Amino acid sequence: MAEDDIVFLETFRDKITAYLVAGIAPTQDPLWGGSGLMNMEQALKDPVFRELQRNINRMKGRATLILEGLSINCTFTQYPPPAVGGPVTKFPLFNLITDNQSLHTVNGSVFTNKIDEAIGLLETSDEDGLSHDALPIFEVRDITKTLNFYQKTMAFTAEKSMDSPDTATVTCRGARIMICASVKPTPSRAIFRNMPIGDVPSQRITLGGQTYLAVADPDGNQLLFKTAI
């Protein structure tokens, strides 16, 4: 239910705000960490603060699932300092709160702004009766192969874009997924609530304290079904 997710995200946001020292998640790299890293290490000597860290680590999985289900990007892209060079690296956003392995000190608003955006979408879904639970963009190698999977295996309705042969839409009971062709697809997830999965082969998984039936498409994109199981 949207109301449950709103309460959860508000609690998660409050814990993040209480955890961050001076409002930042300092990089744990000794070269770039500076005073922020030292302040965080000092704070973690407090058992209460360490318990707060544990709570955030327990909650971040479910928070990520909620935001990804609302098509909110939960990836932090690291661009290395010009003087250092190196490849562009991507990190799961909420991992950086307690385990910032990037070379950047991250302002807490990066986390809380996305949470507030998600809460706003969930509040809208309650007000207008619309579902905002599964509107991701799935990257795939072969549009035709993917649409065949969603139509024949998942019983979705598929519609190719009139403007671009590299995009399409699949829908089921009001839930919608955008399909886009990509040379190197990055798998994503979508959450479906109160939707029967039928006889489609699936795997039961637990993420963020929630149990789902997971189905993967040919490119590894996951459809997570939250049902009474």
CA-to-CA distance for 214 and 202, rounded, in angstroms?
Answer: 5
Q: What is the pLDDT of residues 68-119, one digit of tens each?
A: 877 788 888 887 666 666 778 889 999 999 998 887 888 999 999 999 998 8
Could you give the CA distance from residue 195 to residue 26 in angstroms, rounded to a whole number?
A: 41
Burial 4-43 (b: 16+ CB within 10 A, else e): ebbebbeebbebbeebbbeebbbbbeeebbeebbeebeeb
Cα separation, 127 vs 135, whole angstroms:
18
The pLDDT assigned to 129 comes to 40
Contact 19, 49 (CB under 8 A): yes
Instruction: Note the pLDDT of residue 131.
Output: 45
What's residue 132's pLDDT? 46
Query: Which residue type, as a one-letter code, is found at position 20?
Result: L
pLDDT at 147: 93
223 in Cβ contact with 138 (< 8 Å): no
Dihedral sign, Cα of residue 5, residue 62, residue 19, residue 78: negative
Q: Residue 214: which of 186, 179, 194, 190 has the closest Cα? A: 190
Q: Dmax of the chain from CA atoms?
A: 59
- Going by their DSSP bridges, the two strands 167-172 and 203-207 should be labelled as unpaired
pLDDT score, position 216:
92
Which token pair is 210? 């929630």
User: Chunked in runs of 10, what are the mean pLDDT values of the chain (229 residues)?
Assistant: 80 93 84 78 90 92 84 82 72 92 88 92 59 66 92 88 80 81 85 73 78 90 74
Tokens of 194: 């109160």
Q: Which two tokens stand for residue 12?
A: 């998660």
Q: Which residues pair with 172 in a beta bridge?
A: 175
Name, in order, each residue with C-beta under 8 angstroms of 123's C-beta and a sequence gap of 6 or more: 2, 6
> Structural domains in the chain?
2-128 (no CATH), 137-226 (3.10.180.10)
- Quote the pLDDT of residue 123: 78
pTM exceeding 0.85: no
